């Protein structure tokens, strides 16, 4: 395993264990509302601290971009961290959340970990070396027809700027696919696309920490990731479309007529 991936795995497991222990005591958690339907708990913050501590202990010169504490340091290496992706699920006792850690080197994603502590599922990837679930090599699905495909998504829940376009896309997909799912943790949605569980995935308004690790998992599993018009700028815009090489272009085609100027950015 690449030494930087190894450290990321150590950090993700530490945070995952902390989250797992806290899941038994949800009634006693301090929870704060960041904005409409956007919550943060002391567990998110403690998990983030343990991740940053572990990474910086090994690589003190590296920079950090983390959901709860923002940016720290400047380096050609930037760790992009979501300490607890799926906080709403976590707070409701729904077992669908993960720790997500990605590493960018000179702006290119090179290492990825998504760890689901509820199932002890560890998704990892290193650029050029493939993606894995525990020690099993991952490949995206082989499904070719939209009508046979299972598509993952995330509903807009706090920022409703694109809700009309989103609903129009949703309406089309509902009629053209085998099914749509919204489990509630984007990093796992992307990891599950890499694992071939979904044939495609799309969401609007994500943040880099929701996506960084999951997107590398998909490309390393032979899949495609883009923004909603098929370009590369998804980490910047937060609008993402992913899938196996057959379904990804078909998903873009269904989305295209509904793109408003904001979603084309």
**Residue 48 site contact among ligand IPD, Ca ion, none (CB < 5 to 8 Å, cut-off depends on kind):** none
Residue 210 within binding range of Ca ion, rule CB under 5 A: yes
Q: Rule CB under 6 A: say whether 82 interacts with ligand IPD.
A: yes
Minimum CB–partner distance for residue 93 and ligand IPD (Å): 14
Which residues, numbered 45-74, are part of the site for Ca ion (CB under 5 A)? 67
Residues in contact with ligand IPD, shown as a per-residue x/- string from 100 to 139 under the rule CB under 6 A: ----------------------------------------
| Min separation Cβ 40 and Ca ion, Å | 8
Residue 189 binds Ca ion (CB under 5 A): no
Could you say whether residue 210 binds ligand IPD (CB under 6 A)?
yes
Looking at 146, 185, 195, 240, which residue binds ligand IPD (CB under 6 A)? 185
Q: Exposure of 249 by Cβ count < 10 A (0-12 exposed, 13-18 middle, 19+ buried)?
A: middle
Question: What DSSP letter does each residue of the chain carry, written as one string?
Answer: --HHHHHHHHHHHHHHHHHHHHGGGGGG--EEEEETTEEEEHHHHHHHHHHHHHHHHH-TT-EEEETTTEEE---SEEEEEEEEE-HHHHHTT-S--EEEEEEEETTEEEEEEEEETTTTEEEEEETTS-EEETTEEP-------GGG-EEEE----S--TTHHHHHHHHHHHHHHSSEEE--S-HHHHHHHHHTTSSSEEEESS--HHHHHHHHHHHHHTT-EEE-TTS-STHHHH--EEEE-TTHHHHHHHHHGGG--HHHH-
Residue nearest to Ca ion (CB): 85
Decide if residue 68 touches ligand IPD (CB under 6 A): no
Q: Judged by CB under 6 A, does residue 186 bind ligand IPD?
A: yes
Instruction: Specify the stretch interacting with Ca ion by CB under 5 A; choose among 25-33, 84-92, 126-134, 166-174.
Output: 84-92
What does 184 interact with, of ligand IPD, Ca ion, none (CB < 5 to 8 A by kind)? ligand IPD
Piece in contact with ligand IPD (CB under 6 A), picked from 20-28, 86-94, 111-119, 216-224: 86-94
Residue number, 184 or 200, with CB nearest to ligand IPD: 184
């Amino acid at each position: 395993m690449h030494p930087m991936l190894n450290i990321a795995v150590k950090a993700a497991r530490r945070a995952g264990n902390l989250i797992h222990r806290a899941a038994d005591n949800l009634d006693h958690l301090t929870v704060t509302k960041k904005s409409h339907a956007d919550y943060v708990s002391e567990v998110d913050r403690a998990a983030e601290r343990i991740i940053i501590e572990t990474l910086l202990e090994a690589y003190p010169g590296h920079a950090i971009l983390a959901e709860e504490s923002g940016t720290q340091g400047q380096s050609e290496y930037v760790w992009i961290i979501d300490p607890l992706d799926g906080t709403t699920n976590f707070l409701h006792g729904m077992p669908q959340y993960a720790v997500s850690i990605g590493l960018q080197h000179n702006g290119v994603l090179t290492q990825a970990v998504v760890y689901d502590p509820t199932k002890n599922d560890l998704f990892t990837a290193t650029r050029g070396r493939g993606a894995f679930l525990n020690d099993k090599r991952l490949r995206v699905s082989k499904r070719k027809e939209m009508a046979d495909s299972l598509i993952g998504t995330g509903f807009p829940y706090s920022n409703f700027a694109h809700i009309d376009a989103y609903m129009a896309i949703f309406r089309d997909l509902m009629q053209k696919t085998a099914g749509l799912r919204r489990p509630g943790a984007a990093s796992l949605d992307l990891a599950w696309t890499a694992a071939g569980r979904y044939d495609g995935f799309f969401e609007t308004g994500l943040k880099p920490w929701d996506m960084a690790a999951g997107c590398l998992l998909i490309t390393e599993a032979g899949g495609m990731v883009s923004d909603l018009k098929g370009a590369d700028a998804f980490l910047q815009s937060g609008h993402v479309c992913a899938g196996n090489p057959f379904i990804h272009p078909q998903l873009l085609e269904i989305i295209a007529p509904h793109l408003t100027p904001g979603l084309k950015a």
